Structure 1
């Protein structure tokens, strides 16, 4: 597989979803409640349809594992080689008019994520990584992305937890998990400069890769939440694992992503 062609296809799919989301932001007509999985709008559904169309036209042999199709029961099995798509990460923010949301597209080949693109429509930014080639950011998107438009990004080099800004998320539908998350939060908020809870895990991972956040942790996420972002962190020089410090798989129930200098400090709070 030509990963450069795959990258261009994922970026093109993001551009189509971006148009839909910017057109719908602040003017939604239909919002549904998926119960424990949260809210869904017509922007989520239309974005996934647009992404699916672009990706399948380019690579008809690779299935698209997307959040909304899974919820509708149309696709329940993550194949070892798949596109892994969250058409709109941060749906609650989007619905309530908070401009913190993104599009996440990862490509997994033989069980390993090899490509990730995360587009942030309200910030006019796009992050991407290809395995072995580093992580990049474009600010102020153009209709045709060029490699010269991108700047290479890397994780923070801060060494003291007292100077660190961390990020996390909570899943109120699972009370046991929420209790555990709050225990971790209470430890780290007392030790760090600050902890932020933005409500879009894929974007949180990008901000770790960019060096804005020093670490991100969360549990009860889905493969589409972390596929692209976990690779972007790794390619920016970060470390990614589950809460126990084990090799990270996008099907894991927890994730810790951090700069190498603070990874061991943060994991002392998540691995208990």
Structure 2
């Protein structure tokens, strides 16, 4: 499979996982907690099974690192190429009845994301991108290319995490920018809003894992944006423990 084929595979599995998530939501569910106290539901588990099985069947030579498998103690050696899967990014939002959750399937090569698909099940949409080749959004109206925008003169639109909305560190950091609008939402959809030119900046000053960010970083970078650490270095993958440092996401420019 070439990169286009791999992206189509990731996107189709993100959509299939999204259908599982919506079915669980319609039928009712309970919320459990993992050892790190983060929430998990039947939707996380069912979505991950669909994605992992599909990837391993289609491209068995590419290792799969999936959030719930890691949480259960199943550790897979990444290799030079590997998938990173977050079957339900924004479980807290999902559990609270909000629509700000996503499905993330990203491919890493030599420490850098190269492509990814981000499903937005509640919106009936999926975003996809190959770094260096462009990004798109697909929904009921079809598929269209998307691109990050240059910051408008009146000030930037910032998307930030809902769960860090009252963090004084965020307010202190944003004070250096001319901010016209600030919106707080959960999940990887923040990256996608930058990728489709709706917002300009997403600072992440809290904890994330590599499976949270690989796919949406690919979409944003494919759309002309960039994701860097606080010292302006590219956000890389395959780190020990799969934990990210703080990072910054920018639109075009």
- Identify unmatched segments of 5+ residues in structure 2: none
1:195 aligned to 2:187? Answer: no
Matched with 1:206 is 192
Alpha-carbon displacement from aligned partner over 1:95-136 (angstroms, at most 9, x marks no partner): 111111110100112322111000101101111011321011
- The correspondence for 1:167, drawn from 159, 183, 207, is 159
- Per-residue deviation, 1:26: 4.7
Q: Alpha-carbon deviation of 1:30?
A: 3.1
Note the 1:16-165 alignment, pairs <5 A: 16-34=16-34, 36=36, 38-75=38-75, 77-140=77-140, 149-160=142-153, 163-165=155-157
Distance 1:151 1:8 in 2: 15
Give the superposed CA RMSD: 2.3
SS at match of 1:15: helix
**1: CA distance between counterparts of 2:245 and 2:9?**
29
**In the alignment, what sits opposite 1:144?**
none
Structure-to-structure mapping, 1:171-186, within 5 angstroms = 182-186=168-172
Aligned to 1:60, what secondary structure does the other structure show? coil
Q: Which has the higher helix share?
A: 1
In 2: Cα distance, 1:50 partner to 1:60 partner = 15
Residues 1:217 and 2:203 aligned together: yes
RCO comparison, higher one (Cα < 8 Å, 6+): 2
Count of aligned residue pairs for this structure pair = 246
Offset at residue 169 of structure 1 (A): 2.1
Q: Is this contact kept in 1: 2:162–2:185, CA < 8 A?
A: no
Greater strand proportion: 2
Q: Structure 2 vs 1, CA of residues 58 and 108 (structure 1 numbering), >3 Å: closer, same or farther? A: same
- Kept in 2, the 8 Å contact 1:28–1:42? The answer is no
8 Å contact kept, 1:107–1:115:
yes
Q: Please, which moves more after superposition, 50-59 or 69-78?
A: 69-78
Q: Please, which moves more after superposition, 97-106 or 12-21?
A: 12-21
CA–CA separation in structure 2 for the residues paired with 1:169 and 1:80: 31
Aligned to 1:175: none
Do residues 257 (structure 1) and 249 (structure 2) align? Answer: yes
4+ residue stretches of structure 1 with deviation over 6 A?
none
Q: TM-score, normalised by structure 1?
A: 0.83
